């Protein structure tokens, strides 16, 4: 029994097969998804910006360099459990719906982030302090395993086909905004509190913000309705077999790995190049500027904040343009740019000139925008509805294991080699991965999600999409007719040639 929501191939597409998206529901969906993502990256941003302080609070007996590596290591370890969260929430999302799972992930994320601010210092409870920190980070890692991919799917399945790039870009707009909020709080606390007060209790305040953010995000996600694509899938199952609906759709990972290997590989490649760059710029750079280059923490964080504010303006522009020219060109531009400009950018960052430092960071940021601006609209289009959450969450979080180690590995490489250019070489490796992936990436702009019927912003657009579908069918029929005519001509030519040979050599008959 087929579980696809697409119309049968023997039936022509009808106007009723095109989903006209309610604009109010669409705004709720995008807002709910983006806010949850902002909260996720608010925590990661805060953690990266206060890593030096956390090293002193939870690992006081280590050297300053080891403190930083240990704090960033605690940041990276939760990425090891993200695939478990991805598999768990992916299966739940494909069986019970995207909206329910996203409500659960934001609750787990909010509670675990809030609890980090409650953990006593090493001096107060000894080894229990770093262990509790690790436990909270593991809970975050598990919930985040289903957060970004679920939010990306939620927006993609709601978005009209012609606006999916623009609307999807707001998801990572939320990510960057979360970083800005976290960084802004850290800068404010650093400038208003003495260093000892910041170490004693000031670093805890940003984590407490997760409480009200989580409540707001839960309210918005609970108010949002299930996506049209998932709803249509359940309706189709009910029409075909009511008993199948009671059992809910099941996911076969064997089918995913065997049938969608190319899509999985492309997903992993896109995630690697994007998130290695993401973590290098937005998580490791504040530590790099302070620990490796000797700038004050406030100075380094402030520069990053200004860069991120600039990224907020670029992000939706990239998404909008990707609906016009496609997703592939932006992934290609970002990858080639990293390949060519990473070393010059880090030379700028390593200078004593604030303007050049800002320019170096800005170069990496704009290239990152090229990738984050299209990622949320590109990845969900690789898989059909019935396995979209499971497949995407699994591939995404396998890649995140590697990408999440970026701050720790970069710090270790700089410390071990005394070469401050190691992060640039790291980005070049990521760029090669992105370059290869961009050649195999199928273009998905202005097309329905794989296995889904088209989404339109209004009835007028639905009629245009229907006409385009029929025009495409007519063009395909004409192309097939032309190929048949060409084959018939070649067949006639071969028959004439055979006849001439038979006339010359009758004994071969």
- pLDDT confidence of residue 173: 92
Geometric angle at alpha carbon 26, from 25 and 29, rounded to 5°: 85
- pLDDT confidence of residue 509: 57
For 14-24, what is the mean pLDDT?
73
- pLDDT confidence of residue 460: 79
CA 274 to chain centroid, in Å, comes to 8
Confidence of residue 2 (pLDDT cuts 50, 70, 90): very low
* Strand ranges, E, within 301-457: 455-456
Question: Bridge partners of 20?
Answer: 456
Say whether pLDDT at 299 is over 60: yes
Nearest to 40 by CA among 130, 184, 149, 203: 149
Nearest to 253 by CA among 391, 385, 146, 388: 391
Token representation of residue 225: 């309705």
- pLDDT confidence of residue 10: 43
Contact 300, 292 (CB under 8 A): no
pLDDT tens readout for residues 389-399 = 999 999 998 89
For 214-241, what is the mean pLDDT?
79
pLDDT tens readout for residues 154-181 = 999 998 988 999 999 999 898 888 878 8
In the chain, % of residues over pLDDT 90 = 26
Query: Can you give the three-state secondary structure of 401-430, one letter per residue?
Result: HHHHCHHHHHHHHHHHHCCCCHHHHHHHHH
Say whether pLDDT at 378 is over 70: yes
- pLDDT confidence of residue 454: 81
Nearest to 187 by CA among 281, 46, 43: 46
Contact 143, 109 (CB under 8 A): yes
- pLDDT confidence of residue 365: 94
- pLDDT confidence of residue 76: 66
pLDDT tens readout for residues 95-148 = 888 888 998 988 888 888 889 889 888 788 887 888 888 888 888 888 888 888
Contact 103, 222 (CB under 8 A): yes
> What rounded mean pLDDT belongs to the chain?
82
244 exposure class (CB count in 10 Å sphere: 0-12, 13-18, 19+): middle
pLDDT tens readout for residues 326-370 = 999 999 999 999 999 999 999 998 887 888 888 999 999 999 999
Say whether pLDDT at 320 is over 70: yes
pLDDT tens readout for residues 179-201 = 788 878 877 887 888 778 887 88
For 238-260, what is the mean pLDDT?
68
- pLDDT confidence of residue 65: 66
Residue 244 has, within 13 A of its CA and on its CB side, a CA count of 14
């Amino acid at each position: 029994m087929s579980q696809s929501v697409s119309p049968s191939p023997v039936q022509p597409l009808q106007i009723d097969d095109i989903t006209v998206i309610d604009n109010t529901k669409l705004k709720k969906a995008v807002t709910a998804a983006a806010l949850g993502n902002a909260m996720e990256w608010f925590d990661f941003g805060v953690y990266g910006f206060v890593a030096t302080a956390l090293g002193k609070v939870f690992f006081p007996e280590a050297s300053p360099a080891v403190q930083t590596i240990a704090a960033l290591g605690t940041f990276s370890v939760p990425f090891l459990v993200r695939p478990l969260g991805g598999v768990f929430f992916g299966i739940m999302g494909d069986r019970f719906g995207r909206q329910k799972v996203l409500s659960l992930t934001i609750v787990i994320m909010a509670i675990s982030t809030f609890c980090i601010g409650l953990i006593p210092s090493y001096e107060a409870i000894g080894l229990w302090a770093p262990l509790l920190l690790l436990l909270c980070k593991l809970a975050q890692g598990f919930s985040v395993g289903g957060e970004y991919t679920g939010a990306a799917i939620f927006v993609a399945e709601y978005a009209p086909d012609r606006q999916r790039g623009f609307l999807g870009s707001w998801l990572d707009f939320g990510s960057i905004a979360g970083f800005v909020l976290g960084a802004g709080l850290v800068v404010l606390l650093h400038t208003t509190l003495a260093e000892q007060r910041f170490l004693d209790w000031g670093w805890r305040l940003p984590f407490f913000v997760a409480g009200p953010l989580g409540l707001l995000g839960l309210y918005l996600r609970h108010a949002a309705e299930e996506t049209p694509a998932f709803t249509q899938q359940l309706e189709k199952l009910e029409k075909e077999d009511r008993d199948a609906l009671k059992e809910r759709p099941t996911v076969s990972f064997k089918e995913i790995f065997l049938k969608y290997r190319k899509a999985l590989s492309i997903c992993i490649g896109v995630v690697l190049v994007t998130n290695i760059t993401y973590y290098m710029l937005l998580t490791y750079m504040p530590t790099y500027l302070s620990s490796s280059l000797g700038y004050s923490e406030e100075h380094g964080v402030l520069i990053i904040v200004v860069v991120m504010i600039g990224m907020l303006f670029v992000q939706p522009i990239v998404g909008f343009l990707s609906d016009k020219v496609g997703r592939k060109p932006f992934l290609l531009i970002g990858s080639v740019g990293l390949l060519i400009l990473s070393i010059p950018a880090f030379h700028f960052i390593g200078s004593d000139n604030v303007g050049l430092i800002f320019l170096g960071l800005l170069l990496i940021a704009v290239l990152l925008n090229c990738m984050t601006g299209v990622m949320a609209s590109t990845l969900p289009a690789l898989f059909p509805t019935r396995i979209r959450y499971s497949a995407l969450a699994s591939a995404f979080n396998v890649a995140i294991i590697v990408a999440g180690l970026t701050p720790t590995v970069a710090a270790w490489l700089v410390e071990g080699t005394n070469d401050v250019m190691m992060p640039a070489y790291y980005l070049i490796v990521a760029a090669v991965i992105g370059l290869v992936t961009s050649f195999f990436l199928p273009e998905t702009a202005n097309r329905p999600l794989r296995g889904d019927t088209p989404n339109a912003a209004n009835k007028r657009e639905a009629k245009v999409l229907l006409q385009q579908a029929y025009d495409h069918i007519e063009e395909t029929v004409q192309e097939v007719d032309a190929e048949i005519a060409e084959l018939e001509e070649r067949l006639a030519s071969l028959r004439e040639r055979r006849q001439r040979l038979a006339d010359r050599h009758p004994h071969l008959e």
